[in-house]
Amino acid sequence: MLALDGVRLTQGTFALAADWAVEPGARLAVIGPSGAGKSTLLMGIAGFIDPAEGRITWEGRDITGLAPGARPVSVLFQEENLFGHLSVARNVGLGLRPDLRLDAGDKARVEAALARVGLPGMGMRLPGELSGGQRSRVALARVLLRQRPVLLLDEPFAALGPALKREMLALVGEIADESGATVLMVTHDPQDARAFAGQTVVVAEGRAAAPVATGPLLDDPPDGLRDYLG
C-alpha cells in the first residue's frame, strides 16, 4: 500500500495537503486545474520534493527520507524522456544500470523490453530516427525494466494524437496489470481518466483529495470540478 500520511508539500508559497492511501495495483487518475499541484503531488511521491510535514510509506515502510533512485518508484514525464545521443538500446539500458555497463544478460533484457513495447530490433537506432509514438514506447520500455512497483505518469502522452494516446494508455494498462504496479497518472483529459483509471484523485484548492471512483465522479462532478471540466 502507498500511503500519504498527513503530507504537506510546498513549492515557494504554494502548499498541497494529502492524507490517504491506495491499494497495490490500483490505477489512479490525477486531475484538477492548471497550477493546482498535480505535478507537485507526483514529485513528492517520487522524492524530488521533501514534505514539509507528514510521511510517505510503501508497504508500511517509511520512504520519506529516501533519495528518488532509492524509492520503489518510476516516473514518466511529458517532456522527452530520452537522451538524443544514445541509441535506443542504451536509453533503455539506463533503466537497468545508470553507468551503462550492460552484460549479455542485461542486453537480452533490454531487447525483451523493446519487444514488449512493440519495438523489436530497433535498439541500434537513435531516438531522432523514431516517431513520437515510438519514442514514447522506448521511454516506457525503460520504465518496464526498472521494475518498480509504483509508476507515476505526468501527462506522458499529451503530445501524441488521440489514437496513439489511447494505444499507449492501453499498453501501460497491460504492463501495469502484468507487473501489478500501482499507477498514478496526471491527465487533463477526462476520457483518459475513464479509460485508464478506476479511481481519481482531484487536486484543487491546496488539497489532493482521497481517491474516489472515476465513473461516478465524472458523471456527477462537484461544482468546482464541473467548472474545470467545462
The whole-angstrom separation of Cα 164 and Cα 57 is 34
Looking at 40, 136, 200, 214, which residue binds ligand ATP (CB under 6 A)?
Answer: 40
- Which of 150, 180, 155 is CA-nearest to residue 165? 155
What minimum distance in Å lies between the beta carbon of 15 and ligand ATP?
A: 9
Where does 117-160 have alpha helices with state H?
A: 132-146
User: Which is closer to ligand ATP, CB of 38 or CB of 135?
Assistant: 38
Q: Which of residues 196-215 bind ligand ATP (CB under 6 A)?
A: 203
Residue from 1, 14, 147, 216 in contact with ligand ATP (CB under 6 A): 14
Q: How far is the CB of 81 from ligand ATP (least distance, A)?
A: 16
Pairwise CA distance, residues 125 & 88, whole Å: 6
> Closer CB to ligand ATP, residue 16 or residue 82?
16
Cα distance between residue 128 and residue 209, in whole Å = 40
Angle at which helix 132-146 crosses helix 162-179, to 10 degrees, equals 10
Which span sits near ligand ATP by CB under 6 A: 19-27, 38-46, 116-124, 204-212? 38-46
Residue 14: CB minimum distance to ligand ATP, A: 4
Name the closest residue to ligand ATP (Cβ). 12
Based on its alpha-carbon atoms, the radius of gyration of the chain, rounded to whole angstroms, reads 18
Query: Counting contacts by CB under 6 A, is residue 37 touching ligand ATP?
Result: yes
194: nearest Cα among 172, 210, 217: 217
Indicate the residue type of 205.
E
Smallest distance, ligand ATP to C-beta of residue 188, A: 7
Contact 150, 179 (CB under 8 A): no
Query: Smallest distance from the beta carbon of 108 to ligand ATP, in angstroms?
Result: 38
Which cell is 32 given? 484538477
Using CB under 6 A as the binding criterion, the count of chain residues that bind ligand ATP stands at 12
Tell whether residue 83 is a contact of ligand ATP (CB under 6 A): no
Which one of 12, 98, 128, 180 is in contact with ligand ATP (CB under 6 A)?
Answer: 12
Query: Between vectors from CA 72 to CA 182 and to CA 153, what angle results, nearest 5°?
Result: 50
Residues that bind ligand ATP (CB under 6 A): 11-12, 14, 32, 34-40, 203
